[in-house]
Amino acid sequence: MAARRHRLYGRRRRMSAAAALRARLAVHSPARARWERFLAGLPLDPDALDEVRPTGPNDVIVCGSSRSGTTLATAALFQPPRVVTVMEPWDGMRLPPAALFASLRRELATGVLRRGRLDIAALHAEHVTRWCRDGERPVPVEADADTVVAVKWPVWWRWLDRLPDTRFVVCVRDPVETIRSYAGTGGRLADGRDYPTAFNAAMLRTLDATARRRPPEPPGSPLDEAWLRRIDLFDHVHEQLLPHIGRANVHTLRYERWFVEPDAVLDELGAFLGVSLAAPSVTITAPRSRPPATDPLGDAIRARCRTAAALGYA
């Protein structure tokens, strides 16, 4: 038995070392370098715009923290010709909203939606949300001048101050579940950060300054630096969102409600958008994970999160 445990331990160590080596090599790979250059070349910076043109009356923005249910909302709302949703087109990091919506409507007038990262074929055939590359899977779409076009970019909450007449669907989710989901997603979110683009530059500077000023956690705290950075990201986003929640042009969509009263959620979304929504193509299934009976980490996250109570998740 001891020998077997020793072999298993050695195998795990070798696997961990191999995974660490792959991670180090990936940072310096040509593909990673191309990706970093691509992100650095996305020029849109809201702070550099003196004026932001208003969007059209049927243009809608879906935003919120990452991992707050924005993808589920995008899939549920994809109901042409009433509503066409476009998920995180990279042109949203190149063009301000009015220009992006105008270009999307010109695209829809051709009868084909080419942009977006939601796999519409998988949505219709398998009733699931699946990502694809932007522009990888064009799909025939019926749309007209009355079609509501909704662009989903989580970080487009930054336009809330600049577009008071545009309708926003703002997605929110329990802080503990959202922050844990950052960790499970990996990449920059696991590090409490977002894409290093011009659009996010101001936010990233603020988060880095917060990390430098933050006092250390008391001994025995389950919150290490990575957890603190994730909490900082959650709080920063929601401190910008909270002043707008309750305004006439903002509809707050709580992720948890999808799994207890989906019909009411759709009715409210339809009323906000001015359309009658049908049952969505996506299968709405509650997450399988369940918190443990005692959850010191979850309790510490909730206690540390400054915005939990204001969001209704105290």
Note the pLDDT of residue 7: 43
Note the pLDDT of residue 17: 58
The tens-digit pLDDT sequence of the chain (314 residues) is 444 444 433 444 444 555 554 555 555 688 889 999 999 999 999 999 999 999 999 999 999 999 999 999 999 999 999 999 999 999 999 999 999 999 999 999 999 999 999 999 999 999 999 999 999 999 999 999 999 999 999 999 999 999 999 999 999 999 999 999 999 999 999 999 999 999 999 999 999 999 999 999 999 999 999 999 999 999 999 999 999 999 999 999 999 999 999 999 999 999 999 999 999 999 998 877 666 778 999 999 999 999 999 999 98
Residues 304-311: contacts with CB within 8 Å, 24+ apart? 304/223, 304/228, 304/231, 305/175, 305/176, 305/179, 305/231, 305/234, 305/235, 306/235, 306/239, 307/175, 307/234, 307/235, 307/238, 307/239, 307/242, 308/175, 310/238, 310/242, 311/172, 311/175, 311/238, 311/242
> Cβ distance 311 to 241 under 8 Å?
no
> The pTM is what?
0.90
Note the pLDDT of residue 20: 52
Note the pLDDT of residue 28: 66
Sketch the domain layout of the chain as residue ranges. 44-179+241-294
> Cβ distance 38 to 145 under 8 Å?
no
- The CATH architecture that domain 44-179+241-294 belongs to is 3-Layer(aba) Sandwich (3.40)
